[in-house]
């Protein structure tokens, strides 16, 4: 603990709080609901703490059978033909796409696809759904969005990662 940052970890929870950011995380998907409940409970006690922005994140790592499959997946996402006249030995490092998830017109979703650093060879899908609210009751609105969208968001992100993995590896065959 420090006057500008508090950070600690429990078996299922990572918490970091600075003067302008509160981050709670878990590496175990079995604790997604308790994580949501922890955040909602914290801010029900801190009801006068203003919240203007909120993000829900989901990280998914999948092992791939070989580095060759990863290279082929990368070629599907980033065309070597396009970069060949600019770079020698171009390769996939990261792709980031932004848009809106169906039925969430008030949130911006960013999807990042990269080689996994956790599972080698593997692929990483990083989802971030970002909400902003500048209204007088922004804290209430954002916590309501967290409560209403949490489960659907995590189920959707996991399914999309699996669907993308299936599509990309099928294309690489």
- 87 and 139 inside one domain: yes
CB 114 within 8 A of CB 127: no
Phi/psi at 162 (5° precision) = -65, -40
pTM of the model: 0.91
Q: Report the candidate in 108, 74, 76 with the shortest Cα–Cα distance to residue 94.
A: 74
Mean pLDDT of the chain: 93
End residue of a domain, out of 49, 67, 87: 49
- 105 and 42 inside one domain: no
Q: Residues 111-161: pLDDT tens digits?
A: 999 999 999 999 999 999 999 999 999 999 999 999 999 999 999 999 999
**Helix (H) or strand (E) segment spanning residue 170:** helix 138-172
- 29 and 111 inside one domain: no
Q: Say which CATH number the domain at 65 has.
A: 3.30.530
- 85 and 144 inside one domain: yes
- 82 and 117 inside one domain: yes
Phi/psi at 63 (5° precision) = -75, 140
pLDDT band at 172 (very low <50, low <70, confident <90, very high): low
Looking at the 3D structure of the chain, how many domains does it have? 2
- 102 and 168 inside one domain: yes
- 105 and 158 inside one domain: yes
- 73 and 121 inside one domain: yes
- 140 and 88 inside one domain: yes
Domain that holds residue 157: 52-172
Can you read off the two tokens belonging to residue 168?
Answer: 């990309």
């Amino acid at each position: 603990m420090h006057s500008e940052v508090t950070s600690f970890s429990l078996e299922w929870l990572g918490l970091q709080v600075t003067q302008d950011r509160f981050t709670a995380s878990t590496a175990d998907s079995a604790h997604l609901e308790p994580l949501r409940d922890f955040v909602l409970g914290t801010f029900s006690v801190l009801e006068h703490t203003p919240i203007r922005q909120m993000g829900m994140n989901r990280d998914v790592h999948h092992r791939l059978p070989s580095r060759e499959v990863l290279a082929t997946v990368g070629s599907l996402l980033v065309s070597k033909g396009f970069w060949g006249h600019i770079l020698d030995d171009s390769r996939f490092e990261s792709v980031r796409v932004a848009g809106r998830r169906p039925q969430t017109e008030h949130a911006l979703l960013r999807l990042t696809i990269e080689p996994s650093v956790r599972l080698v060879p593997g692929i990483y899908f990083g989802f971030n759904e970002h909400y902003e609210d500048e209204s007088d009751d922004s804290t209430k609105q954002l916590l309501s969005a967290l409560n209403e969208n949490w489960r659907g968001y995590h189920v959707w992100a996991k399914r999309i990662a699996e669907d993308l993995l299936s599509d990309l590896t099928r294309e690489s065959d």
